[in-house]
């Protein structure tokens, strides 16, 4: 049975909520990022939020704190999520010694 658009949106938002908990990102911070995107006139769809969670997960695996990633994007006025500037991922710290 095919899902309705409403059902798909609910499923996407459920995935986002679970990812936020797993990455220890507060709902307030995520809502702040979504508000930031709306003010940039670039609101995120439910599916775009899932993709953003996937991006955060990848950044986390490379040593970036998801909270710092989101805060950096808001403070810099960016619409995307990027590696934290000035933060060396743990796997590359030995190269600087």
Q: Which has the closest alpha carbon to 33: 24, 45, 44, 23? A: 44
65 falls within a domain = yes
pLDDT score, position 91: 52
- Indicate whether 30 belongs to any domain: yes
The sign of the CA dihedral 72, 37, 79, 76 is negative
Tally of domains within the chain:
1
Reduced to 3 states, what is the DSSP secondary structure of residue 24? coil
Q: Is residue 7 part of a domain?
A: no
In a domain, 36, yes or no: yes
User: Crossing angle of helices 27-39/66-76, nearest 10°?
Assistant: 30
Q: Would residue 8 count as lying in a domain?
A: no
Residue 63 lies in a domain: yes
> pLDDT tens digits, residue range 39-89?
999 999 999 999 999 999 999 999 999 999 999 999 999 999 999 998 655
1: Cβ contacts below 8 Å, ≥ 6 apart: none
Range of the domain at 47: 26-84
**Residue 1: what pLDDT?**
47
């Amino acid at each position: 049975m095919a899902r309705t658009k409403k059902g798909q949106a609910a499923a996407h938002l459920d995935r986002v909520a679970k990812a936020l908990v797993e990455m220890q990102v507060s709902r307030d911070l995520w809502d702040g990022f979504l508000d930031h995107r709306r003010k940039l006139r670039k609101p995120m769809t439910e599916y775009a939020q899932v993709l953003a969670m996937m991006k955060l997960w990848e950044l986390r695996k490379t040593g970036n704190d998801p909270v710092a990633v989101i805060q950096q994007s808001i403070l810099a006025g960016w619409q995307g999520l990027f590696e934290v500037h000035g933060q060396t991922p743990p796997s590359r710290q030995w190269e600087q010694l």
